[in-house]
Amino acid sequence: MTGCFGGPALLYLRPKTLDEAVALLASSSGQVLAGGTDFYPALGERLPQRDVVDITSLAEIRGISFESKWIRIGGLTTWTEVLRTPSPRCFDALKAVAREVGSVQIQNRGTVAGNLCNASPAADGVPPLLALDAEVELTSAGGSRRVPLSQFITGNRKTLRNADEILSAVWVLRQIENAPSAFLKLGARRYLVISISMVAAVVQTDEAGRVSDARVAVGSCSARAQRLHDLEQALIGLPARSGIGAAVKGDHLSPLSPIDDVRATAEYRRDASLTLVRRALEACVGAR
Ligand SMILES: Cc1cc2nc3c(=O)[nH]c(=O)nc-3n(C[C@H](O)[C@H](O)[C@H](O)COP(=O)(O)OP(=O)(O)OC[C@H]3O[C@@H](n4cnc5c(N)ncnc54)[C@H](O)[C@@H]3O)c2cc1C
């Protein structure tokens, strides 16, 4: 059977519950649609080639909730909801992302989960959540599984998600929730821009004012965002005060593999990332 415009006859499905949604995915080989802000641009002039499972009515996976050990970001939580939900300081970096993703219209529609599932190297939501050791929950008709975000994204627009799975939640352990965090993004202009480099940092301090835990992640400078583990180790025990950025050396950026493209050269990306990492750490200790 052909649909209108001569394409294949497709169904647009709008389930009301997560159970219904995963059952439809299992039976229809449909593709998930959330805010559509990556989905539709990716189609360009083409029509969808498979059934569309619109998950925007799944109220049960919308919003942020605080449990005793974990913070749960539901799989349909928009950037605007991230901004409006009172949350601990370790979420300041994610809120800074929410403020800068596209425009207000994009923030109202676009979801955190969509950003992670689309898995662009320039997805701004990835570095702050990597820095929080976030885990993603994937639900299918067969049940749920949890995967560390560091493993979930495997490459440029590649993830471990199976076609019949919905990213139903992002989980963050309540471990360093009062640690200051920062997110800095460099683009060719101030707003509505794809990142040339972006950095998220979280710095926890002990009672003596020294760094007891530090997490730094850089995006747009490799096929998937990277944590700078050697730098994180080098920061432990340093006084958490102005000047901490001087501890960041070029070698600490060795996990990155930036490329030349229309937005910037690899060399510029590396240089800009060094500056952004230093500034993000200064912002964290300045906000203590
Ligand atoms: C003008 C404009 C500006 C933008 N600016 C930025 C920016 O500054 N920074 C940035 O990072 N991004 C930006 N984006 C990209 C986009 O807005 C974000 O990545 C957004 O978070 C995507 O979420 P969504 O709900 O719209 O995803 P969708 O477009 O609905 O989906 C994206 C992909 O993820 C899949 N998917 C979505 N949700 C789920 C789920 N819960 N489970 C399983 N699969 C799912 C879909 O099948 C699709 O493949 C911009 C986009 C536009 C159009």
Please give the pLDDT value at position 260. 83
Span of 61-75, 160-174, 233-247, 249-263 with lowest mean pLDDT: 249-263
Please give the pLDDT value at position 248. 98
* Rounded-to-integer distance, Cα 280 and Cα 247, Å: 13
268, two tokens? 């510029």
Q: Which helix (H) or strand (E) holds 219?
A: strand 211-219
Residue 38 CA, closest ligand 1 atom number: 29
From 32, 50, 139, the mutation candidate for ligand 1 (largest count of ligand atoms within 8 A of CB) is 32
Strands (E), 47-134: 52-54, 64-66, 70-74
Please give the pLDDT value at position 194. 86
State the pLDDT confidence band at 4, using cuts at 50, 70 and 90. low
Please give the pLDDT value at position 90. 97
Positive or negative, the CA dihedral 114, 119, 120, 123 is positive
What's the whole-number mean pLDDT along residues 158-186? Answer: 97
CA of 28 to the centre of ligand 1 (A): 22
Please give the pLDDT value at position 15. 97
Question: What is the tens place of the pLDDT at every residue in 26-38?
Answer: 998 899 999 999 9
Tell whether the model's pLDDT for residue 39 goes beyond 60: yes
Residues 119 and 159: beta-carbon distance below 8 Å: yes
Q: Which residues contact ligand 1 via a Cβ below 6 A?
A: 31-39, 41, 75, 100-102, 106, 109-111, 113-115, 117-118, 123-125, 161, 166-167, 192
CA of 205 to the centre of ligand 1 (A): 34
Please give the pLDDT value at position 191. 78
Question: What is the tens place of the pLDDT at every residue in 102-130?
Answer: 999 999 999 999 999 999 999 999 999 99
Residue 165 CA, closest ligand 1 atom number: 43
Please give the pLDDT value at position 195. 86
Best CA proximity match to 107, nearest among 145, 77, 127, 149: 77
From 99, 115, 184, 198, the mutation candidate for ligand 1 (largest count of ligand atoms within 8 A of CB) is 115
Q: What percent of the chain has pLDDT over 90?
A: 90
Q: By three-state DSSP, how is residue 67 classified?
A: coil
CA of 26 to the centre of ligand 1 (A): 22
Q: What percent of the chain has pLDDT over 70?
A: 97
* Rounded-to-integer distance, Cα 115 and Cα 269, Å: 22
Residue 167 CA, closest ligand 1 atom number: 42
Span of 14-18, 182-186, 187-191, 193-197 with lowest mean pLDDT: 187-191
Instruction: Burial-class residue 241 by CB neighbours within 10 Å (0-12, 13-18, 19+).
Output: middle
Average pLDDT, the chain: 95
What's the whole-number mean pLDDT along residues 164-184? Answer: 97
